[in-house]
A and B are shown apart, each in its own frame.
Chain A
Amino acid sequence: MTDSPSHDDIVLLARQAGLNLPPAYLQELVEAYGNVRQMIDRIPTGRPRGDEPAHVFVPTKFLPAGQ
């Protein structure tokens, strides 16, 4: 998303993601959207398909207690 969405668009985005805040907090939500969007736009993209993120699953880390 590169266009600047409206206040109502941002509220709708959050609602569709399951966050339906009372009106008192909607201005905070709009400001948060702007901050997040700027950070996302600064993260490099266009990476190779196999580029592994900085988290891994180690199966032995999730054994039941005692094993």
Chain B
Amino acid sequence: MDLPHDASRLDLSDPTSLGIAELGVAIRSGLLSPVTLTQACLDRIARYDNVLHSFITVTADRALASARAAEAEIAGGGYRGPFHGIPYALKDIVDVEGVPTTAHSRLMPDTPATADAHVTALLEHAGGILLGKLGTFEFALGGPSWDLPWPPPLNPWNTDFLPGGSSSGSGAAVAAGFVPAAIGTDTGGSVRWPAACCGIVGLKPTYGRISRRGVQPNTFSIDHCGPMTRTARDCAIMLAASAGYDPLDPGSADEPVPDYVAALSGDITGMRIGLIRNWYAGEATEEVTEAVDRAAALLATLGAIVEEVVLPDIGQYADAKTLISMSELYTIHAPDLRTRPEMFGAKLRQRVMGGVFIRAEDYLNAQRWRADLARGLNMQFSRFDALVTAGWLNAADPADPNGADFFRRGRNVTMPFSVAGVPSLSVPIGFGAHGLPLAMQVAGAPFAEATVLRIGHAYEQATEWHTRSPILHSGVSA
């Protein structure tokens, strides 16, 4: 097993270096206080985030109060489970009662949210310690932006580069060891892209698996919340803490939440995996192509039956997703665009305004096309237990305000699984030029999160990429 059950074997000298599973063992045993852990995370944020800009709001007083309460509850025999006493943070489009939700935008009022989002409430119920709200692309779409009140987060592995997006602060904060867990959101890849760029694990679950109530919308019919952690095991723990039916979210799925951690057997012998090579070979950089090929070969050596499968060009999925998104985004943002366009960051404004030209006929034809694409992709799960492809087509982009706009490329390897609404896990599979991480996606049938986590975990057990940490540098002189 990869997880020590004996807490005395853990090195607790720097608890920020540990993941949720290890921290849970130490907290439950009483060897690690949630207060000590929370303070260590806050100290690390104070020391290094002046360079990385991953947090928009740090809720230090609230976090320490929650940690003291967790410490007392656990000492009194009230241990709630593996998320109890674990620090986490939220992409700043997710509501927390009493804390403003900025959406990284001048358009949002500077007033506290009046209620927790459903996902926030579940994580609090599980005993999580909220450390704050994280930077994002504006409204999970317009970024990276240098014309907003908060600078874009940077990549902890190399601060000349970006962490991907739109859950950019979530990716950077977890990779930097500021928190062992964060919630991101994903409409076209916004959990998986930053996970890939930051060398962490990110899961876009099945559509409806985690409620979106209390989360600023991007595209109602494609929005997902998802956990971002350092390992597949941690991802399983956070998913279990955040998933569940919410009758007040019309997209929420009334499906039981299985024991995701129990599925992590480490054994993938005989599992059938379809390798979608045509989505990255000839599309991705050479280092990504080689790394994904190597990762697929390793899955085969672990006992999986890996077979190449050809699916429609990724551009087809991108067209369907983008037209649907632009229509729904325009509906959401048109009142502001008509009355105060100057308040938008340029990238959000440019990406939203095209929605005015999409007719109802175009939107519904895109939704019809989405249905075809989803059926075609789901057919593969009668042949395969999971599908594997690249996590992203290149390593992180340079942090250049004048750099090329990613959204103009129209080639996005994460969007097919967004369109189909199926679970997709981004797993680190190596490092490329400039010391930047590379990743693969493992996708499964609807509600087969346990399957993709099992494969990701088995891959981790055979590699050491997930154990590496970036070396951080403080921007403050002593």
Identify 25 residue pairs between A and B in the complex whose beta-carbon atoms are under 8 Å apart, listed by A's number. A14-B353, A18-B338, A19-B337, A21-B337, A21-B353, A28-B353, A32-B354, A32-B357, A36-B326, A36-B357, A39-B319, A39-B323, A40-B323, A42-B316, A42-B319, A44-B372, A51-B368, A51-B371, A52-B368, A52-B371, A53-B364, A53-B367, A53-B371, A54-B368, A55-B221
In the complex, are the beta carbons of B358 and A32 less than 8 A apart?
A: no
Q: A54-B374, A55-B221, A61-B250 are known contacts. Are A43 and B353 too (CB-CB below 8 A)?
A: no
In the complex, are the beta carbons of B250 and A33 less than 8 A apart?
A: no
Distance (Å) between the CB of B340 and the closest chain A CB?
A: 11
Q: What string of 1s and 0s marks CB contacts (under 8 Å) between A7-37 and chain B?
A: 0000001100111111001001101110111
Give the CA-CA distance A14 to B322 in the complex, in Å: 19
Size class of the B contact interface (CB-based, 8 Å): 35 or more
Q: Which residues of B contact A22 (CB under 8 A)?
A: 341-342
A25 is contacted by which of B322, B341, B364, B370 (Cβ under 8 Å)?
B341
- Using a CB–CB distance below 8 Å, which chain B residues touch chain A? 221, 248, 250, 315-316, 319-320, 322-323, 326, 334, 337-338, 341-342, 346, 349-350, 353-358, 362, 364-372, 374, 408
Give the CA-CA distance A13 to B356 in the complex, in Å: 9
Other than A18-B356, A36-B323, give 13 A-B pairs with Cβ distance below 8 A.
A13-B357, A14-B353, A28-B349, A29-B353, A35-B354, A36-B358, A39-B319, A39-B322, A42-B316, A43-B319, A43-B365, A43-B369, A47-B368
In the complex, are the beta carbons of A47 and B341 less than 8 A apart?
A: no
B353 is contacted by which of A32, A47, A62 (Cβ under 8 Å)?
A32
Interface size on A, residues (CB 8 A): 33
Give the CA-CA distance A31 to B370 in the complex, in Å: 25
Is the C-beta of A4 less than 8 angstroms from some C-beta in chain B?
no
Q: Chain A: which residue is nearest B318 at the CB level?
A: A39
In the complex, are the beta carbons of B365 and A37 less than 8 A apart?
A: no
Give the CA-CA distance A54 to B418 in the complex, in Å: 13
Distance (Å) between the CB of B115 and the closest chain A CB?
A: 13
In the complex, are the beta carbons of A33 and B350 less than 8 A apart?
A: no
In the complex, are the beta carbons of A33 and B371 less than 8 A apart?
A: no
A28 is contacted by which of B248, B315, B350, B369 (Cβ under 8 Å)?
B350
A-B contact count (CB 8 A): 88
Distance (Å) between the CB of A60 and the closest chain B CB?
A: 9
Q: Which residues of B contact A43 (CB under 8 A)?
A: 319-320, 323, 362, 365-366, 369
B365 is contacted by which of A17, A33, A44, A65 (Cβ under 8 Å)?
A44
Most B C-beta atoms less than 10 A away, residue of A47, A51, A55, A62: A55
Q: Which residues of A contact B354 (CB under 8 A)?
A: 32-33, 35-36
Q: Which residues of B contact A14 (CB under 8 A)?
A: 353, 356-357
Q: Chain A: which residue is nearest B372 at the CB level?
A: A44
In the complex, are the beta carbons of A33 and B374 less than 8 A apart?
A: no
Q: Which residues of A contact B366 (CB under 8 A)?
A: 43
Q: Which residues of A contact B369 (CB under 8 A)?
A: 43-44
Give the CA-CA distance A28 to B341 in the complex, in Å: 12
Q: Chain B: which residue is nearest A48 at the CB level?
A: B368
Q: Which residues of A contact B367 (CB under 8 A)?
A: 53-55
Q: Chain B: which residue is nearest A40 at the CB level?
A: B362
Is the C-beta of A45 less than 8 angstroms from some C-beta in chain B?
yes
Q: Chain B: which residue is nearest A67 at the CB level?
A: B247
Most B C-beta atoms less than 10 A away, residue of A37, A44, A54: A54
Give the CA-CA distance A55 to B364 in the complex, in Å: 9
Q: Chain B: which residue is nearest A32 at the CB level?
A: B354
Distance (Å) between the CB of B283 and the closest chain A CB?
A: 17
Q: Which residues of B contact A29 (CB under 8 A)?
A: 353
Distance (Å) between the CB of A42 and the closest chain B CB?
A: 5
In the complex, are the beta carbons of B353 and A54 less than 8 A apart?
A: no
In the complex, are the beta carbons of B334 and A18 less than 8 A apart?
A: yes
